[in-house]
Chains A and B, each alone.
Chain A
Amino acid sequence: MAEMFFTKEHEWVKVKEGIGAIGISDHAAHELGDITFVELPKIGKTVKQFEVLAAIESVKAASDIFSPLSGTVVKINQALEDAPEIVNESAEDAGWMVWIEITDESELKNLMTQEQYSDYLKTL
């Protein structure tokens, strides 16, 4: 089971063998309401930690998705282009957005563990 880490902006990353799967948390998906559009990056795009990686729109709002780690995009979840509602149904699993090849795993120290994120949500 890959370990899962979170940002304060409610992105998650699951890390396994140098690859990070990235999405938004169940909490974020719920807050956004019905998701109507996901803009995914091109494969090969490089991002730094906390830079804009993707964009998401719901009936209520448009938001940027920030990359939890630095890396290069190696895979995108194309199913979201026609069915962005998958993010509402399964934000932390089938609703993943991007896989990146991680540049520097030491950046994980800037992220929250699942437990820390749960505590963080209680403070909001």
Chain B
Amino acid sequence: MRFTLRVWRQKDAKSPGQFETYEVDGVPADASFLEMLDILNEKLIKEGKEPVAFDHDCREGICGSCGLFINGRAHGPLPNITTCRLYMRHFKDGDTITIEPFRARPFPVIKDLVVDRSALDRIIQKGGYISVNTGSAPDANSIPIAKAAADRAFDYATCIGCGACVAACKNASAMLFTSAKVAHLALLPQGQPERRERVKRMVAQMDAEGFGHCSNTGACAVECPAKIPLSAIARLQRDFIWANLTPDPYAR
């Protein structure tokens, strides 16, 4: 297959970027989108040109590294998929494909299509965990957890932290990401002691990073490779309202 690629090239965070156009030929239909970029890069290197920088690692849809905005959509034209699991057979021979980095103020471009997503880690730092030190846990079966609760918690816990939710959102909101963690932990008995503070602190950090607000368009859930449902956001909303409106039972 043959494609014309319009690729965003940007030297570093400070330099302005622009689109460059490349032709790539002889791409097998069963190649993944990233493998197609590999083919392009091999060609560029041979020509003595700088290859296109893009994030990637596991190439099986779980590490959350890859993140390209392809033809106007996070991770390309298919819903709920990462770029590494997007195959060229989903494009038409001769297509022109526009590739941009994920764009958001908290995701500064590092180079070309690579962006810094450490803002997401800083949100987790504010409470995306249960504070338990190694060695202090009781027997694993000492607290039964309803299967349904564990299953729902799992649905939210599968977030891969790729940032597609932010990229797809018209407001560059990180609500789906943040709420997935809040919802996961709020569903489990182990998550209860810190539940009130967790949601407040994580929301505060989300705002401090400069992510936008959520306007419930649902674009995030359409693009989310981990299929985190929008109910995560509802759960965060509910917890946040509860944590702020009801009196803290243990306040002095």
Question: Do the two shown chains form a genuine complex with each other?
Answer: no
Give the B-binding residues of A (Cβ under 8 A): none
